[in-house]
Chains A and B, each alone.
Chain A
Amino acid sequence: MVSIDVWNASVDFPIFDAKSRSLKKLALGKVGGKIESEGRVPIIEALHDITLSIKDGDRVGLVGHNGAGKSTLLRLLAGIYEPTRGQSRIVGKVAPVFDLGVGMDPEISGYENIMIRGLFLGMSRKQMESRVDDIAQFTELGDYLQMPLRTYSTGMRVRLALGVVTSINPEILLLDEGIGAVDAAFMAKARDRLKSLVARSGLLVFANHSDEFLADFCDKAIWMDEGHVKMFGSLREVLTAYKGYDPFERMHPHEETPVLSGNGGE
């Protein structure tokens, strides 16, 4: 069964400046001992005491101000960061879509990118080769797939990444804000795939600022604030508390109808 459980987890980043990252300081520091307070590595507590349980079928939206810890939380849920204190347990095949374009060689072609992402997410080469056509069709990138990645716009990268993650049947889908870069028509297309994915067996955590995207994809929400989980509950409750008004009142009465055309919300 797919699930993510986190117990009292904290994520602390040591900030090594040029000096404290060197051996000199460590070696010399042993001698004196008087500059202790100065020699200590400053720590940024990005996440503090997070306790969460996300089960399969959950579609969780992640809201909060910039720097509230949304991306860090997603990386914690992906298993990229293991908590410095506390524990986490991730059961299921994780497929993250984070900052796009980072981490990939900008010179490689779209096809190569599809292959490498797929292999990273645990697919075999054969499996990916059989999916390439499907991904090419879904992303509508066509001949662009032969072009190096540096020629891609942000939206095109999002298409590519979404094409890969939705084609490999992941169980845990983690999407960062960058997803918003694609146009509404593509989003509508991706939406069906994502929904069916989550429905089959899986869970989704989606960081976004747009009420419409959140209403479209999620039924629960986490409100992050200064590295804490300020609130975790149903989407409407959390959004109402976070925004100070009920965003659903301004939208269509039924949550299920696509609302991508409107620009109300924010």
Chain B
Amino acid sequence: MQATSTLGQPEAPPPVKSRSFKRAFADVREAWDHRELWGHLGWQDIKQRYRRSVIGPLWITISMGTTALALGLLYSVLFETNVPTFLPYVTVGFIVWNFILGCITEGTDVFIANEGLIKHLPAPITVHVMRMVWRQVLFLAHNLVVYAVVLAIFFTALNHPYTITKGGIEHPGLSWTIVLAVPGFALLAVNAVWVALLFGVISTRFRDIPPVVTSFINLVFFMTPIVWDAGVLQRVTGGGDSNWRMLIAELNPVYHFVEVVRAPLLGHAVDWHHWAIVGGFTVIGWFAALVILRNYRARVSYWV
């Protein structure tokens, strides 16, 4: 028995290819058009997580506050630094790190975790990434309360030139440069999207990636100047030509991402090379993510 109907045969197939950059771009663009959707879902995620707790999302702020306080005090004792300048440094570093950490670890899991939605409702896959990044942005917004409190307490220590570690770089103190934190963070968020797209697609195919990432991410935390100051590296070398130690920080991309947001918030010297490197990563990373999206966008629903 064959198709007997008159309506069975469509005309010639269209010349559109499934694997094209056009479709990859369209996915991202349509995801942007769906911003009400991921905006809503991101909020929903936060509300959901603290649904039956009494103080709700305030827990995010509290846990960040206690961690920053404990780490700040501990490390300022260990490094013999000045608490009023070191505590804000650790706090801001940790807030930014938490955003990066969330985007990377949840980014690897973003499609796997949304298997049900991917298989049941047609939507651009970037929607799930945007939802995750937006959720991280909201977490960060909760944590900014801690920054505001710390800033209020230690303002007098930060509004004039200071150094974090003895013999380190002298920072000019808080000034108008604080507004640079906004474009800095915007860049960071834009990068978070490609990271999650790239890692998300690859992890959906190769399920080893999420555990690999989770086990290495702690190492990255300790390698990045968050609870220690990059200036320490210079002090150890005592300047001179043995500046290769600075490479420990400089070769770590996360350092530059942290720095573009952290430096303005603390009134550190604006160092444009961080911006240049972050800009470079933005371009290269998005290109890589678009290539992956072009080739494997349609495969994600098969792989989850």
CB A186 to nearest CB in B, in angstroms, measures 22
Decide if A102 touches B37 in the complex (CB within 8 Å). Answer: no
Q: Does B292 contact A (CB under 8 A)?
A: no
Mask for A62-94, Cβ within 8 A of B = 1, else 0?
000000000000010011111110110100001
Tell me what chain A mostly uses at the interface: helix, strand, loop, or mixed: mixed
Q: Which A residues lie within 8 Å of B207 (CB)?
A: 21-22
Interface residues in A36-69 (C-beta closer than 8 Å to B): 51-55, 58
Q: Does A96 contact B (CB under 8 A)?
A: yes
Decide if B9 touches A51 in the complex (CB within 8 Å). Answer: yes
* Whole-angstrom CA separation of A90 from B11 in the bound complex: 14
Interface residues in A103-130 (C-beta closer than 8 Å to B): 103-105, 107-108, 112, 115-117, 119-122, 124-125
The 8 Å CB contact of B208, one of A14, A24, A102, is: A24
Decide if A87 touches B1 in the complex (CB within 8 Å). Answer: no
Knowing A53-B7, A119-B37, A232-B3 are in contact, say whether A80-B208 is a contact too (CB < 8 A): no
Interface residues in B2-16 (C-beta closer than 8 Å to A): 2-5, 7-11, 13-14, 16
Q: Which A residues lie within 8 Å of B116 (CB)?
A: 102-104
Q: Does B240 contact A (CB under 8 A)?
A: no
CB A185 to nearest CB in B, in angstroms, measures 27
Q: Which B residues lie within 8 Å of A24 (CB)?
A: 208
Decide if B298 touches A82 in the complex (CB within 8 Å). Answer: yes
Decide if A58 touches B40 in the complex (CB within 8 Å). Answer: no
Knowing A108-B44, A119-B34, A233-B4 are in contact, say whether A7-B117 is a contact too (CB < 8 A): no
Residue of A nearest to B114 (CB): A103
Q: Does A246 contact B (CB under 8 A)?
A: no
* Whole-angstrom CA separation of A152 from B116 in the bound complex: 18
CB A168 to nearest CB in B, in angstroms, measures 13
Knowing A80-B301, A81-B302, A120-B121 are in contact, say whether A22-B7 is a contact too (CB < 8 A): no
* Whole-angstrom CA separation of A103 from B122 in the bound complex: 12
* Whole-angstrom CA separation of A104 from B48 in the bound complex: 13
Decide if B5 touches A234 in the complex (CB within 8 Å). Answer: yes
Q: How many B residues face the partner with a CB closer than 8 A?
A: 40
* Whole-angstrom CA separation of A23 from B87 in the bound complex: 42
Knowing A14-B302, A87-B14, A233-B4 are in contact, say whether A78-B41 is a contact too (CB < 8 A): no
Q: Which B residues lie within 8 Å of A214 (CB)?
A: none
Q: Does B123 contact A (CB under 8 A)?
A: yes
Decide if B7 touches A58 in the complex (CB within 8 Å). Answer: yes
Residue of B nearest to A105 (CB): B48
Decide if A119 touches B5 in the complex (CB within 8 Å). Answer: no
Decide if A220 touches B5 in the complex (CB within 8 Å). Answer: yes
Decide if B302 touches A13 in the complex (CB within 8 Å). Answer: yes
Q: Which B residues lie within 8 Å of A55 (CB)?
A: 7
Decide if B121 touches A96 in the complex (CB within 8 Å). Answer: yes
Q: Does B244 contact A (CB under 8 A)?
A: no
8 sample A-B contacts, Cβ–Cβ < 8 Å, listed by A number = A5-B11, A53-B8, A80-B122, A84-B302, A87-B14, A102-B120, A115-B40, A116-B44
**Interface residue ranges, B against A (CB under 8 Å):** 1-5, 7-11, 13-14, 16, 18, 34, 36-37, 40-41, 44, 48, 51, 115-123, 205-209, 298, 301-303
**Interface residue ranges, A against B (CB under 8 Å):** 5-8, 13-14, 16, 21-24, 26, 51-55, 58, 75, 78-84, 86-87, 89, 94, 96, 98-99, 102-105, 107-108, 112, 115-117, 119-122, 124-125, 220, 229-234, 237, 241
15 new A-B contacts at CB < 8 Å, known A7-B10, A82-B301, A107-B48: A14-B303, A23-B206, A24-B208, A52-B10, A78-B122, A80-B120, A80-B122, A81-B301, A103-B115, A104-B116, A119-B36, A120-B121, A229-B3, A232-B7, A233-B4
Sorted nearest first, the 5 A-B pairs with minimum C-beta distance are A103-B116, A53-B10, A82-B298, A119-B37, A5-B10
